[in-house]
Amino acid sequence: MSGNDVLLEVDDLKKHFKVNQGWIASLVESFGSGEPDYVHAVDGVSFELREGETLGLAGESGCGKTTTGMSLVKLHDPTAGDIVYDDTRLSEASDAEIKQFRQNAQMIFQDPFESLNPRMTVYDTVAEPLRIHNIRNETARVQRALEFAELLPPEQYYDQYPHELSGGQRQRVAIARALVLDPDFIVADEPVSMLDVSLRAGVLSLLDRMTDEFGLSVVYISHDLSLLRHMCDRLAIMYMGKIVEKGPTDEIIENPQHPYTQALINAVPVPDPGVGRERVELQGEVGDVIDIPTGCRFKNRCSEYIGDVCDQVVPPLEAKTDFEQDVACHLYDSAEGYDPYQDVTGSPSAAETGEEPESTPADD
């Protein structure tokens, strides 16, 4: 099913949040830094989403995966960088083009208890996007979406309110609402993590069918690598606002190259008492995303730290000579012939220039 046509191209996307602005202020306070400026939630992320593909964005809390996902459906406007959809750069798109984009880009959120309006019936919840986009044939479309979401018979659910439904049913309503506009792609942010174990597989197989039957592209955002391995064709591992490794799922899981990816995968428990796993203790916690360190963002926790080059040169996410996936790490030889050592200098300031925070982030 996966074609190779690129549906969406994310080009050096950045999203910075101004500190001391509402809820983010408390988040920043807990990082406890001196004179905070901007939170570099997403800081230069590039990838493409192909038609019919499932792409997983993985990483720990605060790595920027949700912000990236929300930017993909334009729930955030990027601070810098761009998203190219259907040959249109969204930053230059007209209102009509944006509206068209919004119809084709849908999101499913983690918590169906919060993402559904408690005062709207199931029918109205699913029909609302159709009304906003002036699409006719409302009843038939709502019915079909609910049928697809295996809420059967659909008529029985029309007049129910979210509180009358179980968690699994609510998430199915959220899926029906996302599908009712026949979108090109869906961003699913931890779509099953709030659901009970026995119900997860049901919702997951429904999401699987979305890609199989409609040829939808899906971006899955999750911290659960076991789940992403099950669902995704390709993976991108994020750390502190950047992608550190990107490539085919099986390659990344079985043969991870970035020291962070290795630690992350080694930390995943295995549901089989017979399997011993090598446990790598990762020191410290995720670094400061306000006062970004120079060079590699993982250097302080990295077991493979190799000196000045890690300190001074930001490792680009690039193809390497020895394996299929792209990795942002100086340990491996660039397939493009890039030599990071040419950028190493006596003083670290020279290497820093590419990393200066945006002086006037367009934030609102």
Residue numbers of the site for another protein (CB under 8 A)? 30, 32, 60-61, 150, 152-153, 156-157, 160, 164-166, 169, 196-202, 204-205, 223-227, 229-230, 250, 253-254, 263-275, 279, 281-282, 285
Least distance between another protein and beta carbon 8 (Å): 26
Nearest to another protein of 198, 342 (CB atom): 198
Nearer to another protein, 270 or 350 (CB): 270
CB of 279 to another protein, least distance (A): 7
Nearest approach, Cβ of residue 5 and another protein (Å): 25
Tokens of 44: 């230069």
Considering the complex, what minimum distance in angstroms separates the CB of residue 222 from another protein? 10
State how beta strands 6-18 and 38-50 pair.
antiparallel
Nearer to another protein, 96 or 197 (CB): 197
Closest separation in Å from C-beta 230 to another protein: 4
268 or 362: whose CB is closer to another protein? 268
Shorter beta-carbon distance to another protein: residue 46 or 226: 226
Tell me the CA distances in angstroms from 203 to 150, 156, 169, 198, 275, one per residue in order: 10, 20, 9, 10, 28
Nearer to another protein, 250 or 311 (CB): 250
> CB under 8 Å to 51, separation ≥6 — which residues?
2, 3, 4, 5, 6, 7, 184, 215, 217
Instruction: Tell me whether residue 91 or residue 156 sits nearer to another protein (CB atom).
Output: 156
Other beta carbons less than 10 A from residue 229's beta carbon = 18
Smallest gap, in angstroms, from Cβ of residue 223 to another protein?
A: 6
| Residues counted in the chain | 364
- With contact defined as beta carbons under 8 Å apart, do 240 and 249 qualify? no
Least distance in Å: CB of 197 to another protein? 5
Which phi and psi angles does 105 have, rounded to 5°? Answer: -120, 115
Nearer to another protein, 102 or 230 (CB): 230
- Minimum CB distance to another protein smaller for 20 or for 321: 20
Q: For residue 279, give both structure tokens.
A: 């446990």
Residue 200: CB minimum distance to another protein, A: 7
Nearest distance from residue 18's CB to another protein, in Å? 21
* Tally of CB atoms within 10 A around 352: 16
Angle at 102 between CA 22 and CA 218, to 5 degrees: 95
Instruction: Name residue, tokens 């080009």.
Output: 11
Q: For residue 286, give both structure tokens.
A: 């995720």
